[in-house]
Structure 1
């Protein structure tokens, strides 16, 4: 039986997995010293530096969707804080499908960003974000 990880331990594990994938894909990654930065890493794609916040994605409420928080949540008060102007992108890892998603912070306007991994049962596409364009890709 697997031990349930604390939110901090789960976040650290996700950061390690994302770090390994970014390096595998040819990105250069720098990590800040200490725990008190609004970004988890700086990712260099060869053209630009990006302050990145790493998130663990989960299955969404609706079938065929995944989602991740785009805010930090204080562990005691539950207060939510946005990353406005403090990062350029989110990189989310979904442990269920082992997929990595790169989402520019500018498109993540709510508290949760939802991506559709399968067509909606009613074929709705308006107002949905398809996951495929946000898949993390190797440096070209």
Structure 2
């Protein structure tokens, strides 16, 4: 059976883009020597559990290819009923943002996301001061 031909622009699917970023994260984290576990199903607030040899870390992956006002944007939130809630230390330890078009990864402790859940990344320019906009690609 031949796969259906789809135009990427007409059939943009954020869930599939997120799944691709999760697969890329799995490869990246395991190649860096982390033990990696994926929870069964998608009911947890985190996508992965990483073992860094000292402790287990709950990690949520957010993929973005959304460029608005010269920044790549994503949210540090999850859906609750018809609304949104901001991730907290009770939910996750780290949020990892993947800027898909540039294949750049940002690692943020969840505490950095609480005061400003709309995350904006400017990987194409140097920023002297701001909150999340100065986040540098990092490691756990």
TM bucket (normalised to shorter chain) is: 0.7 to 0.9
SS of 1:87's equivalent? Answer: coil
Instruction: Give the Cα separation in 2 of the matches to 1:62 and 1:45.
Output: 36
How many residue pairs are counted as aligned between the two chains? 129
Are 1:54 and 2:61 counterparts? yes
TM-score, normalised via structure 1 length: 0.77
The CA deviation at 1:41 is 0.8
Q: CA RMSD in A?
A: 2.3
TM-score, normalised via structure 2 length: 0.77
SS of 1:8's equivalent? Answer: helix
The CA deviation at 1:5 is 3.9
Contact 1:60–1:114, Cα closer than 8 Å, also in 2? no
Residue segments in structure 2 that go unaligned for 5+ positions in a row: 1-6
Change (3 A) 1:46 1:90: same
Change (3 A) 1:119 1:105: same
Residue segments in structure 1 that go unaligned for 5+ positions in a row: none
Contact 2:87–2:113, Cα closer than 8 Å, also in 1? no
The higher relative CO (CA closer than 8 Å, separation ≥ 6) is in 1
